[in-house]
Amino acid sequence: MMWARGDGERGLDMQRENLPGRSVARTPPRVAAFFDMDKTLIAENSGAMFMKFRHARGEVTSWELAKGLGAYLRYKVGVLNIQEWAREALREFEGQEEEALARQAREEFAPQVIEAIYPEARELVAHHQALGHLVAIVSGATRFVVEPLAEALGVEHMLYTRLEVAEGRFTGRVIEPVCFEEGKIYWLEQFIEDQGIELAKSYFYTDSVTDLPLLELVGHPVVTNPDPMLYRVARKRRWPVRIFAPPAPPAPPAAGPAAGPGPRPASPPPASAPPASQPPATRPAASAARPRPDPVEEPGAGGARDRS
């Protein structure tokens, strides 16, 4: 499995023995808040960011960069087989050391991802955590991108695309299914069963129409920064829509001394959460084209629907 504290670990044992003469304590169902990553927690597409990062390092050509960005656009309009594309793209890492890629991603790429966190998304995550909800990131990206983001937000649970490793090196294969579309549904259903999630009271946040089946799983679907197709669905179904303000851009470097260049200024810290007031919440998309946020409703408070 691929959640909770990293590859291979499982949050709870799915096998519970019911021994004769022993009463088994049942854990009450848990409310969860599931977050997509790109354009939901962060203001960029992490795949496009990683391609640009590798291009800047000279690891991919301009033509390969253009092909990668073109694939992203085809995916957004629903004309790309993302499962096949992901398998082909990830095959490039065959033979590379897992630890080397993890170190490079954490030290050089992850700061860019963390800077892209929406302040309102950070606030929403903290709000659900304060309510005692289980919070999880559900993404088609790999652990090397998702894990630093989860740590920055204090999120323990992650579902992501896993790369197969043998003797410390990538084999060029993924652990099926890839965590996109039907693969994302597969892993999420495993996680829901494992963790005892009550879907009727749970939340799912996403920007993409490709996650429509996941929005339909929960009692509280919330559409964030939606693509045009998902926005039309949200208006039709009167689902709450959130439009997040982009994170502040990095501060420009301070002017150096006239005698010559000085040391490069450190990158600014990630955006922090707004003051601990009630976080903005959602309202039906049909009420406005770009709705202003209002407080997030707690389960059962009305507005969003509970479904069994």
23 burial type by CB count under 10 A (0-12 exposed, 13-18 middle, 19+ buried): exposed
Residue 7 annotated among the catalytic residues of the structure:
no
Using alpha carbons, list the distances in angstroms from residue 9 to 12, 13, 55. Answer: 9, 10, 33
Look up the pTM and report it. 0.70
In DSSP terms, 220 is beta-bridged to 203
Residue 207 annotated among the catalytic residues of the structure:
no
Using alpha carbons, list the distances in angstroms from residue 307 to 2, 26, 29. Answer: 27, 22, 14
- Among 7, 13, 36, 294, the active-site one is 36
pLDDT of residue 222: 98
Domain boundaries, the chain: 32-247+272-295
Q: Tokens 């808040």: give the residue.
A: 33
| CATH of 32-247+272-295 given 3.40.50.1000, 1.10.3720.10, 3.40.50.1370, 3.40.50.620 | 3.40.50.1000
Work out the angle at residue 114's Cα, subtended by the Cα atoms of residues 195 and 242, and round it to the nearest 5 degrees: 70
Q: Going residue by residue through the chain (308 aa), what tens digit of pLDDT does each one get?
A: 344 333 433 333 333 333 344 344 456 789 999 999 999 999 988 777 776 776 777 776 777 767 666 666 666 656 666 667 667 777 778 888 999 888 888 888 888 899 999 999 999 999 999 999 999 999 988 888 899 999 999 999 999 988 899 999 989 888 888 888 788 999 999 999 999 999 999 999 999 998 999 999 999 999 999 999 999 999 999 999 999 999 988 766 555 444 444 444 443 333 333 333 344 454 444 443 444 444 344 433 333 334 33
